[in-house]
Amino acid sequence: MELGMIGLGRMGGNMAERLRQAGHTVVGYDHNPDVSDVSSLPELMERLKAPRAVWVMVPAGEATRATVDSLRDALEPGDVVVDGGNSHFKEDQEHAQLLAERGIGFVDAGVSGGVWGLKNGYALMVGGSGDNVTHLMPIFEALKPEGDFGFVHAGEVGAGHFAKMVHNGIEYGMMQAYAEGWELLEASDLVKNVPETFRSWREGTVIRSWLLDLADLALDADPDLAKLKGYAQDSGEGRWTVQTAVDLGVPLPVITAALYARFVSQQEDSPAMKMVAALRNQFGGHAVET
């Protein structure tokens, strides 16, 4: 089928490529004229036959909101918009409402797969009405990995990004678990070959996983990770996972600890630990570093 793709960056560009390989017609639009198939949103609309399907693959937040606003004006009743970015599930509900006022459908699609998705397929978690999701199934089928897994229609609008948010929260926890285990192995004199230990875990263990395969690749290239700084950004989903859980009264000790470890890694120095140092100095005359 025909699809408009707005945003042809690393993710959007590869997804368009995978869709074309599957025989779909993708008309891409991007601010960067070198990769864009059309020069304007109106031109994109002209190139697509109604009812149009337009996949938005731009950064969450202001960029997505601006794109939704533009599509609200440019599209026609019966068209449908897919937000494949990392929007908050509450934004989805606002966007769906804005578009619904013009008779335009909305589906949110959480997309996992990163740079490996072009080859392996993209796991999709989608939210929206049954009609809209059914209409878009040929696109979802082409994007998803082969086999029984990798796609779920999780619920109404927002459910796709909610599921993807939780997926990312779990991802934070898993990555931190491997990272802690690696640090502990490195800290001990007993285990002589840490990269080989990680590699051995790739088969037969309880902890085998794709992330572990990636850890092996990383250690293969840099056995002590000496080239890296212990600094990890966090995306919105990790924060939203924690905030949503707190709203719902759900304890997330592991996922939150993983998020906080990233926060700490982002700090030049820890204000809290200055206070701890100050207090130790006050009551015990403990030496402080200045």
**Residues known to be catalytic:** 164, 171
- Shortest gap between Cβ of 3 and its own copies (angstroms)? 19
- Interface with its own copies, residue 22, by CB under 8 A: no
- Please give the single-letter amino acid code of residue 56: V
Q: Which of 35, 63, 74, 257 binds its own copies (CB under 8 A)?
A: 257
Dist. CA 89–CA 169, nearest whole Å: 14
Give the length of the chain.
290
Q: Which two tokens stand for residue 106?
A: 């909305």
Q: Which residues, at least 6 apart from 53, have a Cβ–Cβ distance to it below 8 Å?
A: 1, 2, 3, 4, 79, 80, 82, 135, 136, 139
How many of the other CB atoms lie within 10 Å of CB of 214?
14
Binding segment for its own copies among 17-25, 39-47, 62-70, 151-159 (CB under 8 A)? 151-159
Nearer Cβ to its own copies, position 69 or 183?
183
Q: What is residue 111's three-state secondary structure?
A: strand
- Interface with its own copies, residue 181, by CB under 8 A: yes
- Shortest gap between Cβ of 42 and its own copies (angstroms)? 33
Q: Which of 22, 50, 66, 276 binds its own copies (CB under 8 A)?
A: 276
- Shortest gap between Cβ of 38 and its own copies (angstroms)? 26
- Shortest gap between Cβ of 164 and its own copies (angstroms)? 9
Tell which positions 72-101 bind its own copies, by CB under 8 A.
89
Dist. CA 241–CA 168, nearest whole Å: 8
